[in-house]
Amino acid sequence: MEMELWYTEKQTLDHGITTKIRRTLHHEKTEFQTLDVIETVQFGNMLVLDGMVMTTDVDEFVYHEMITHVAMNTHPNPEHVLVVGGGDGGAIREILKYPSVKTATLAEIDGKVIEASKTYFPKIAGALDDPRVKIEVVDGIKHVEENKGKYDVILVDSTEPVGPAVGLFQKPFYQSIFEALKEDGIMVAQTESPWFNRDLIRRVFKDISSLFPITRLYTASIPTYPSGLWSFTIGSKKYDPMEVDETRFHQVDTRYYHPRMHKALFQLPVFVQELITVERK
Amino acid sequence: MEMELWYTEKQTLDHGITTKIRRTLHHEKTEFQTLDVIETVQFGNMLVLDGMVMTTDVDEFVYHEMITHVAMNTHPNPEHVLVVGGGDGGAIREILKYPSVKTATLAEIDGKVIEASKTYFPKIAGALDDPRVKIEVVDGIKHVEENKGKYDVILVDSTEPVGPAVGLFQKPFYQSIFEALKEDGIMVAQTESPWFNRDLIRRVFKDISSLFPITRLYTASIPTYPSGLWSFTIGSKKYDPMEVDETRFHQVDTRYYHPRMHKALFQLPVFVQELITVERK
């Protein structure tokens, strides 16, 4: 009998996942967080930051497609796009599928995440070498404050709202994003699980609603994330993803998102819709 | 420090969930399977058959609404409805929300599941006392074989395709269901996870397609089920759930399903759609 190794993540105080691993490929304490790469049997290589799964070979396509394409297909001509966080490069890879894109900027606070992703996740991070990509190892908050009116689309591809990412779930950051966007810009933030993070979703949706005229939420199935259901919140200055003309959608090569799904995404389960239904006075 | 108890379920050979429990409320070996009820911290009471989560207080509404309402709202006048399996009574509870229903028959092979559900899941099983409900403790295969042309809607609310439920995933059973339905009848079967059970989904969809003129698949988010994403397969003799007139939908009191979601459900992720896209000759 060979020894079995299992990685167990407590996703809440009382619930988690456990997954069989072959070996640990990488472990380090960076300036900002603990960074592990493990080789799992079910999901291939898995990136773990501060004990939380960030991405895996097998299901990464869902998160990276879904944080990207809804906004990119809502904006009619995204040329300059920013990813805050997202050091694995997956969102950048999806952004580059649009011929309109002239620059895709990555503002990642932890350069070690970029390095580890290039080594252990070449299919995710490979696009970081594209000449349209600008990599800035910098606090995303600082970057958006210093780049007013510059971007068409901003994606907030953060870790969980603990440690280095706390500020990425706060209203002052969304205010800075609003200012970093052009007058018809659009933002998307990953906003955790509708099952386990209801208060956070309510608060973020309210904060973004107070800044942007159009605010929308949608979800996607990500098996290695808490509860398996993940939410994304859109703030848009001009274009409504529910009203966009589908005939001009760019046909992207994808495994989860497709243009006919775009508007269907906003028909949320009742218990999710209730989180974001603001009482009218 | 108090001792911590955790229930861990290997949902595949290499992956599972782990959840903190307060205590075991019930354990027995029935004629057909092992039956456990545990009190968890995150999901309330949890019913476990042969070591697999069947339902929990917190997320049961998703499964029970989603196995029921898509078919019930597609059929214009469901009067006689059968649930095969489903001894917890949750699907029956949802069926009874339609005023058109005259009889809701439960064909559950294991009477002990019904008893345990009445004791430990009163909100799920409570509707089993309704006068429209007929409970038959019987093999569902036998029941459908002996009731030809009787039902408007049949829901296959089975356990996983091991042990007593193996026959409920086989083509001869779907043939019997076809015959047990009226000439405009419609069936739905729970068909496992699109992440972990792809071969099963492909095979069942093909089998049901070979019998019913209209076959559709949709999914729902169920955090305590493997991968958190669950599929349901429809076989329909006459009514297409994608073409149904939404203005005649019955407005049911629900927490997940709602009528505006009905057609959006069929805009599946690309990787799920690919499972059921039959190659044309």
Say yes or no: B123 and B176 in one domain: yes
Say yes or no: A50 and A131 in one domain: no
Total count of domains within chain B: 2
Using only C-alpha atoms, chain A has a radius of gyration, in whole angstroms, of 18
Say yes or no: A120 and A234 in one domain: yes
Say yes or no: A111 and A19 in one domain: no
Contacts with B221 from chain A: Cβ below 8 Å: 195, 219, 221, 227-229, 269
Rounded to an integer, what distance in angstroms lies between the CA atom of residue B105 and that of residue B122?
19
Per-residue pLDDT of chain B (281 residues; tens, 9 = 90+): 678 999 999 999 999 999 999 999 999 999 999 999 999 999 999 999 999 999 999 999 999 999 999 999 999 999 999 999 999 999 999 999 999 999 999 999 999 999 999 999 999 999 999 999 999 999 999 999 999 999 999 999 998 888 778 889 999 999 999 999 999 999 999 999 999 999 999 999 999 999 999 999 999 999 999 999 999 999 999 999 999 998 889 889 999 999 999 999 999 999 999 999 965 44
Say yes or no: B50 and B65 in one domain: no
The CATH number that applies at residue B23 is: 2.30.140.10
Say yes or no: A9 and A142 in one domain: no
- Contact of A21 with chain B, judged by CB distance below 8 Å, is answered with no
Say yes or no: A269 and A197 in one domain: yes
Q: Both tokens of residue A20?
A: 């069989």
Say yes or no: B136 and B23 in one domain: no
Say yes or no: B41 and B159 in one domain: no
Say yes or no: B84 and B41 in one domain: no
**Residues A80/A152, Cβ–Cβ less than 8 Å:** yes
* Residue A131 forms part of a structural domain: yes
Q: Which of A270, A272, A273 should be substituted to probe chain B, the one whose Cβ sees the most B Cβ atoms within 10 Å?
A: A270
Q: Which of B41, B196, B221 should be substituted to probe chain A, the one whose Cβ sees the most A Cβ atoms within 10 Å?
A: B221
For residue B188, give every residue at least 6 positions away whose Cβ sits within 8 Å of its Cβ, in sequence order, or none.
B67, B68, B70, B71, B153, B154, B155, B156, B232, B233, B234, B235
The reply to whether residue A264 touches residue B269, judged by beta carbons under 8 angstroms, is: no
* Residue A108 forms part of a structural domain: yes
How many CB pairs (< 8 A) connect A and B? 120
The reply to whether residue B221 touches residue A221, judged by beta carbons under 8 angstroms, is: yes
Range of the domain at B80: 60-276
* Residue A281 forms part of a structural domain: no
Residue among B41, B228, B268 whose CB faces A14 most closely? B41
pLDDT confidence of residue A248:
87
Say yes or no: B265 and B169 in one domain: yes
Rounded to an integer, what distance in angstroms lies between the CA atom of residue A235 and that of residue A208?
6
Residue A1 has pLDDT above 80, yes or no: no
How, if at all, do strands A229-236 and A214-221 pair? Answer: antiparallel
Rounded to an integer, what distance in angstroms lies between the CA atom of residue A86 and that of residue A206?
24
Say yes or no: B50 and B76 in one domain: no
- Contact of A251 with chain B, judged by CB distance below 8 Å, is answered with no
* Residue B281 forms part of a structural domain: no
* Residue B23 forms part of a structural domain: yes
